[in-house]
Amino acid sequence: MMRLFSRGSAGESPHTASPPTPRAPVSSNMSAGPARPIRLVYSDEKGKFHMDPEAVALLQLVKEPVGVVSVCGRARQGKSFILNQLLGRSSGFQVASTHRPCTKGLWLWSTPLRRTALDGTEYNLLLLDTEGIDAYDQTGKYSTQIFSLAVLLSSMFIYNQMGGIDEAALDRLSLVTEMTKHIRVRASGGRSTASELGQFSPIFVWLLRDFYLDLEEDNRKITPRDYLELALRPVQGGGRDVAAKNEIRESIRALFPDRECYTLVRPLTNENDLQRLDQIPEDEIKEKATKIEQAEQRLTTLSLELKAAESKIKNYDLEMSTLKLELKELVEKVESANANALSAESKARILEQEKLHLEQKYRAQFNRFEEVQERCKAAEKEAKRATELADEARAEAASAQKDKSDLQRVAMERLAQIERAERHAETLERQKADLANEMERYRAAERDALFKVEMLEERVREREKEIDSLLQSNNSQRKNTVQVLETLLESERAAHAEANNRAEALSVQLQVTQGKLDELSQELTALKFGEKSTLDSRLRTASHAKRGRTDDYEMGVDSVHDTGINDKVTRANKRSKSTSSPMKFAAPEDGGSVFRGDEQTNSQQTNVEDYTKFTVQKLKQELTSHNFGAELLQLKNPNKRDIIALYEKCVLKKS
């Protein structure tokens, strides 16, 4: 970066140079004491630019985003005062009231100002004061170099100027065209153009000090930005002077595409106060600025009122012109009526003259010719009638004019009605065309719908045929199923009859066996009573000393007796099992006997446990025997799993 600022030429004109300031220690808060201006760039005796080490050390401590605002302009026009106002203090950068410039090179404020961007990003604002250009102790090249350095280092470049933008002010910015000769945007290549530099240029603000001009263009108020754009428009004409002027304007537009203009009035009117502006209290300046703003607001209000009055005057002029036209028409009507009246009066005078001529000519014979007198009276009557006719004609002319205006008004109304009717007819024609198009669309949709209906009817007929064929095949299948079921029913009936016959035979065998069991039970009862009586007689003859042994003996005999009885019953049971009868004997507590068959006992358990092992034919027979043939027929092409599910649902009553 230091190599960038040491590109000065040894052949340049020397100017007042100052030695580098001694390097001061830099603290972490960007300054080694109170905030103050620090020299950033200076030129030595040979015209080479150098950076002050203290300023370099301060800049190296800045780690966050940086924004740089520099103020440039002619010498002794208050650039440092503007920067002090940006700092919010009356003293900071050095200001003076003499003719000699007090700022040499580029100076930097030692403490960055914390600011927040529009997007919420915080950054450090650095203020940069530049040496005045076009000073009496400078050369043109040195001014261009100072100007170029300020532009390259700035995020916002403020050009300070007194008064308005004129040709002299634009000529002072001719160094913009020289700036492109000292700056390159590429490492290789020739001279850079202004448009290429414009991609890297800062925001350009043209600040007009002590500005009192009224910004108006074509009788309308314009902004300072519009004033700047008007000043930068190309000059019409030819020649070297015009080309040079347009070159300066084109360079400014290309180098600074983002530009703005602001105006400031003179803060104080007293020249002595202006020389010590940094010592004037800020409240006094603010008070005068407030008064100036109020005056500007009042001036704006008065200009608005003046414009309103001018608009009212224009309206009155329009009304007067309308009234003049109406008055002219009335005068023309009166003149026409007067002309008619004059013609009638002239006729009356002619008749009067004829009367006098006749009286003079025939005065001697007047008495003799009464007819002539009567004729004269008649002529007088005619003259009166002519006068009346003239009055009537005048009244008729007025009424005719009135009727004419009424007819014109009625004609205009009729014309307007005709135009409305024509527009309505055109609207109806368009609606008719739209309705015709819509009818065509509806007809096309209807044809499509009829075609679709025919297709659907054809499909319905095909489906009906398919359904009829399916019904016929289904009926044939049902007939076959009914025949199979009838054969199954006949076989079931035959099996049922055979089972009944076997049950009757078994019941006869059961009755015979029951009779035998009754006889055996009677014999057992008789034997039990005989043995008991024998034992009782033997016990009576025994001695009383052996009663205990006798009791034991009786107990043993009873147990033996019981054992014998149990053996007999066991043998009887074995005999009953050895027979071919499937009936079982059950001895209840009341001494009776109940017999039941093996098939009847085990049928339910077998059906519950082994129905999953049935064949499909067996399952169908079971469902048919339990009167569930209709539910079986409702199943179409059932497999064994479906028939088992139906069996569980209907026969076993499983949910």
Q: How many CB atoms lie within 10 A of CB 203?
A: 15
Q: What is the pLDDT of residue 277?
A: 52
Q: How confident is the model at residue 310 (pLDDT cuts 50, 70, 90)?
A: confident
Q: With a cut of 60, say whether residue 32 has pLDDT above it.
A: no
In order of 95, 147, 539, the CA distances from 551 in angstroms are 154, 152, 9
Give all strands (DSSP E) within 292-446, no chain letters.
none
Q: Are 183 and 192 spatial neighbours (Cβ–Cβ below 8 Å)?
A: yes
- Give the integer Cα–Cα distance in Å for 210 and 265: 4
Which has more confidence, 32 or 531? 531
Name the maximum alpha-carbon separation found in the chain: 230
- Token pair of 121 as six digits: 């990003």
Q: What is the pLDDT of residue 22?
A: 36
- Give the integer Cα–Cα distance in Å for 491 and 26: 123
**pLDDT tens-digit readout, 467-507:** 989 999 888 888 888 988 988 888 888 888 888 888 888 88
pTM: 0.41
Q: Is it true that domain 61-108+124-280 has CATH number 3.10.20.90? A: no
Q: What is the pLDDT of residue 296?
A: 67
Q: How confident is the model at residue 163 (pLDDT cuts 50, 70, 90)?
A: confident
- Token pair of 148 as six digits: 């170029």
Average pLDDT taken over every residue of the chain:
76
**pLDDT tens-digit readout, 203-218:** 999 999 888 777 888 8
- Give the integer Cα–Cα distance in Å for 280 and 257: 38
- Token pair of 555 as six digits: 């107990």
Q: How confident is the model at residue 158 (pLDDT cuts 50, 70, 90)?
A: very high
Q: How confident is the model at residue 455 (pLDDT cuts 50, 70, 90)?
A: very high
Which has more confidence, 614 or 205? 205
Give all strands (DSSP E) within 458-576, no chain letters.
none
Which has more confidence, 11 or 298? 298
Indicate the burial class of 384 (C-beta count within 10 angstroms; 0-12, 13-18, 19 or more).
exposed
- Give the integer Cα–Cα distance in Å for 379 and 386: 10
Q: With a cut of 60, say whether residue 50 has pLDDT above it.
A: yes
Q: Which long-range contacts (CB under 8 A, 24 or more apart) does 110-116 make?
A: 110/30, 110/31, 110/35, 110/36, 110/37, 110/38, 110/58, 111/29, 111/30, 111/31, 111/35, 112/30, 112/62, 112/66, 113/87, 115/67
Q: pLDDT above 70 covers what percent of the chain?
A: 73
Q: Which of 601, 595, 600 is nearest to 515 (CA)?
A: 595
Which has more confidence, 627 or 296? 627
- Give the integer Cα–Cα distance in Å for 127 and 69: 5
Q: How confident is the model at residue 298 (pLDDT cuts 50, 70, 90)?
A: confident
Q: Are 69 and 91 spatial neighbours (Cβ–Cβ below 8 Å)?
A: no
Q: What is the pLDDT of residue 69?
A: 94
Question: φ, ψ for residue 586 (rounded to 5)?
Answer: -130, 125
The arithmetic mean of pLDDT across residues 346-359, rounded, is 83
Provide the residue ranges of all domains of the chain, joining segments of one domain with +: 61-108+124-280
Q: What is the pLDDT of residue 312?
A: 81
Mean pLDDT lowest among 131-135, 164-168, 252-256, 479-483:
131-135
